[in-house]
Amino acid sequence: EARDRLAQGVFLTPCENNPGGRINSYLSKAIMAEPVERKFIKALKTKGIEALTFATQLDEAVAEGVITQDERKLLEELREITMDTITVDDFEPHELRSAGYYDLPGKQRPQPQQAA
């Protein structure tokens, strides 16, 4: 209810150029994956899964019967939507300074890098 109230009048169509819409569409997928994720995390702690990367941990969990192949796909999708949610634009410090900063004595704008 609260989310619906906050999103009232907001463009929430999930598409490439609308991160809010994409993130909103992920909620039901994340809720659906939650029990599988809990089971997988518990297995990481108690079942002796020794792999270090996410993909190989999933391989090992499937091989040991901890999760099914369908549950693996669900966890892979959860990882993808999580990364899409938390990955944000990255800016260099000079890109975040106000225009007036470079009006101060001794402050010069950095020159753009030439492509090699």
Percent of the chain with pLDDT over 70: 98
Question: Treating both helix axes as pointing N-terminal to C-terminal, what angle do 69-86 and 54-63 enclose, rounded to 10 degrees?
Answer: 160
pLDDT of residue 115: 66
User: What average pLDDT does range 60-84 have in this prediction?
Assistant: 95
What single string gives the DSSP state of each residue in 16-51?
Answer: TTBHHHHHHHHHHHHHHHHHHHHHHHHHHHHS----
Residue 109 has pLDDT above 70, yes or no: yes
Band (pLDDT 50/70/90 cuts) for residue 112 is: confident
In this predicted structure, the answer to whether residue 49 has a pLDDT above a threshold of 70 is yes
Residue 69 pLDDT exceeds 80:
yes
pLDDT of residue 105: 83
Question: How much is the pTM?
Answer: 0.68
